[in-house]
């Protein structure tokens, strides 16, 4: 059990990578605080964990709303006394070249994908600093580092998350808090399914093309990312600080 007695907060854990990670962390002994904007999906994750004998609690919050996030963190602390691991996972996709993107859509993706990492970190960190212990995992993406057609807003958010991760690490290393980032390639989740359906006339052809961009010839699974998150959450990664961890099947974007 690699997370025995750890209390973990995962944002956006009602679906995809967040959900797989919540299930895996619970299996590894963690008490999982499942956050999501979608109450039904978040509570489903909790039920699945409990059905398998694990410990979990759903806490609703929109990660872009300071009051929501503050209340969520205070509720978690009141219930469990601490948060050992924070996984800032919630995020949305965005499509378009710069001239195609509406300013409102730009603000929305920036808010969810970047402010949605800043706010949970802001409210959890004082508790981690007090205990001089903690691991924060921020969800970036390989598009932070590789140019990809018509994904500028999304890429900008994930680049920001990577930069945020590195500078956060410098500020909190003295408190024995590690801050690392996950950089997945294309992982087949509802997020990608929805992106393919809304962005391509022929989603099947788009799936094939996405598979070919990865040396593996396949898209990843949310469980692949969950295992990497487990490594960053556990003491096995104690010498990783401010690092990007790639889970991308050897991505070769043009
Ligand atoms: P998903 O859509 O399956 O899950 C995202 C979850 O976040 C959803 O349950 C959604 O309700 C929740 N969410 C959205 N906005 C929220 C908000 N404001 N407050 C709280 N919860 C909110 O997506 P996924 O594929 O599992 O992606 C999870 C993360 O991984 C995202 O940050 C995404 O950018 C990143 N990522 C995904 C891929 C991929 O290929 N799937 C690749 C790289 C990075």
Triad 60, 66, 71: Cα angle to 5°: 50
Within 8 A by CB and 6+ apart from 164, the residues are 114, 117, 118, 138
pLDDT tens digits for 26-39? 999 999 999 999 99
Q: What is the pLDDT of residue 69?
A: 99
Q: What is the pLDDT of residue 96?
A: 94
User: 154, 195, 200, 246: which one is catalytic?
Assistant: 154
Is 197 a domain residue? no
To the question of pTM greater than 0.90 for the whole model, the response is yes
Enclosing domain of residue 230 = 7-187+221-247
39, 90, 137, best to mutate for ligand 1 pocket (most atoms within 8 Å of CB): 90
Q: Is 238 exposed, middle or buried (0-12, 13-18, 19+ CB in 10 A)?
A: exposed
pLDDT tens digits for 109-164? 999 999 999 999 999 999 999 999 999 999 999 999 998 889 999 999 999 999 99
Cβ of 18 less than 6 Å from ligand 1: yes
Is 46 a domain residue? yes
Q: How far is the CA of 176 from the centre of ligand 1 (A)?
A: 28
- If one counts the domains in the chain, the total is 1
Is 75 a domain residue? yes
Is 71 a domain residue? yes
CA distances from 239 to 26, 92, 135, 242, 243 (A): 24, 30, 12, 10, 10
Is 58 a domain residue? yes
Is 111 a domain residue? yes
Which atom in ligand 1 lies closest to the alpha carbon of residue 91? 32
Is 253 a domain residue? no
Q: What is the pLDDT of residue 148?
A: 87
Q: Which residues of the chain register pLDDT less than 70? A: 253-254
Is 239 a domain residue? yes
CATH number, domain containing residue 109: 3.40.50.720
Q: What is the pLDDT of residue 155?
A: 97
* Residue 205 Rama label (left phi>0; alpha psi -120 to 50; beta): alpha
Is 154 marked active-site? yes
Q: Whose CA is nearest to atom 4 of ligand 1?
A: 15
Q: How far is the CA of 41 from the centre of ligand 1 (A)?
A: 12
């Amino acid at each position: 059990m690699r997370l025995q007695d750890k209390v973990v907060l995962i944002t956006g854990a009602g679906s995809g990578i967040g959900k797989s990670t919540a299930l895996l962390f619970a299996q590894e002994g963690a008490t999982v605080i499942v956050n999501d904007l979608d109450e039904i999906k978040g509570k489903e994750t909790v039920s699945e964990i409990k059905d398998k004998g694990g410990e979990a609690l759903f806490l609703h919050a929109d990660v872009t709303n300071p009051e929501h996030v503050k209340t969520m963190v205070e509720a978690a602390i009141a219930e469990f006394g601490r948060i050992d691991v924070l996984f800032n996972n919630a995020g949305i996709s965005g499509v378009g070249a710069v001239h195609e993107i509406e300013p409102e859509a730009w603000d929305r993706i920036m808010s969810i994908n970047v402010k949605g990492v800043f706010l949970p970190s802001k409210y959890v960190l004082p508790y981690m600093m007090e205990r001089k212990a903690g691991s924060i995992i921020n969800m970036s993406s390989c598009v932070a580092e590789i140019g990809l057609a018509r994904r500028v807003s999304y890429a900008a958010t994930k680049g920001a998350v990577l930069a945020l991760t590195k500078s956060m690490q410098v500020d909190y290393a003295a408190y024995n808090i590690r801050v690392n980032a996950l950089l997945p390639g294309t992982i087949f989740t509802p997020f990608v399914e929805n992106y393919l359906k809304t962005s391509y006339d022929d989603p099947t052809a788009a799936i094939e093309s996405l598979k070919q961009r990865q040396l593996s010839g396949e898209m990843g699974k949310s469980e692949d990312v969950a295992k990497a998150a487990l490594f960053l959450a556990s003491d096995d990664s104690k010498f990783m600080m401010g690092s990007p961890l790639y889970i991308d099947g050897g991505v070769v974007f043009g």
